[in-house]
């Protein structure tokens, strides 16, 4: 089953894969409950729930409250709502898989987009919590942390920081192929861009040096 806020887009993908499309705003718990109910009635128990929604969220501390709240709802609470909806039946069966998309920004940062970076950090933390807490109940969790994927959030004519990200951006199809392989291995972190793991290690090994580097990147791409 495919779900998206964009009804037309969801229907197109569903038609390509022979599935069912359900329109939903994943920032609203009632919408996630509804799509889970529909999927369960149509196909039976959910074995894998992919929580993948994301929105750009530019600005810093001055970004409006609405931007901060919407980013929190989409990047964090959508994962919470999904877990609430599917975990009880998964735990009862003793198996289930949650694939939650965070971002390279959730491990590193995102220049010029504080609401995005902060909420994606929280998404990683929630995925870690689920993995630790529910492993003994047969629940598997993976956290997808891509860098750039060509999409509505990263068009091919992107400017500013987007130009930097485009240099190594991959297609959605390539990302999906990588995810399928990683799910077979039951890896927690999924890195379609392997260099992100190296950046993450460098950040942990010498945080001051990493901050110094990122300040230079800020001046170069944001000003």
CB atoms within 10 A of CB 200: 17
Residue 38 and residue 199: Cα distance in Å, rounded? 41
Domains in the chain: boundaries? 45-194
Catalytic residues: 116
Residue 126 and residue 132: Cα distance in Å, rounded? 10
pLDDT at 168: 86
How much of the chain, in percent, has pLDDT values that exceed 70?
Answer: 96
pLDDT at 91: 98
Which tokens hold the place of 75?
């990047």
Element holding 21 (H helix, E strand):
strand 21-23
pLDDT at 167: 82
Element holding 23 (H helix, E strand):
strand 21-23
pLDDT at 155: 65
pLDDT at 158: 64
Low-confidence ranges of the chain (pLDDT < 70): 154-162
Partners of 190 in beta bridges: 144
pLDDT at 139: 98
pLDDT at 151: 81
Domain 45-194: homologous superfamily in CATH? NAD(P)-binding Rossmann-like Domain (3.40.50.720)
pLDDT in tens, 91-124: 999 999 999 999 999 999 999 999 999 999 999 9
Cβ(30)–Cβ(38) below 8 Å: no
How far lies 187's CA from each of 97, 133, 180, in Å? 11, 16, 11
pLDDT at 126: 98
């Amino acid at each position: 089953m495919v779900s998206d806020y964009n009804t037309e887009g969801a229907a197109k993908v569903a038609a390509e894969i022979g599935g069912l499309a359900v329109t939903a705003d994943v920032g609203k718990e009632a919408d996630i409950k509804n799509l889970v109910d529909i999927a369960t009635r149509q196909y039976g128990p959910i074995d894998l729930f992919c929580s993948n929604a994301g929105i750009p969220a530019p600005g810093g501390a001055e970004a409006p409250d609405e931007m901060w709240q919407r980013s929190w709802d989409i990047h964090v609470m959508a994962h919470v709502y999904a877990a609430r909806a599917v975990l009880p039946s998964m735990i009862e069966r003793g198996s289930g898989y949650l694939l939650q998309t965070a971002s390279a920004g959730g491990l590193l940062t995102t220049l010029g987009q504080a609401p995005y970076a902060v909420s994606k950090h929280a998404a990683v933390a929630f995925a870690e919590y689920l993995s630790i807490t529910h492993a003994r109940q047969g629940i598997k969790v993976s956290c997808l942390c891509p860098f750039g994927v060509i999409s509505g959030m990263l068009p091919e004519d992107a400017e500013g920081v987007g130009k930097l990200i485009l240099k190594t951006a991959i297609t959605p199809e390539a990302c999906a192929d990588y995810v399928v392989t990683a799910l077979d291995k039951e890896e927690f972190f999924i890195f379609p861009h392997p260099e992100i793991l190296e950046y993450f290690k460098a950040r942990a090994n010498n945080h001051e040096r990493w901050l110094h580097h990122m300040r230079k990147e800020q001046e170069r791409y944001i000003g």
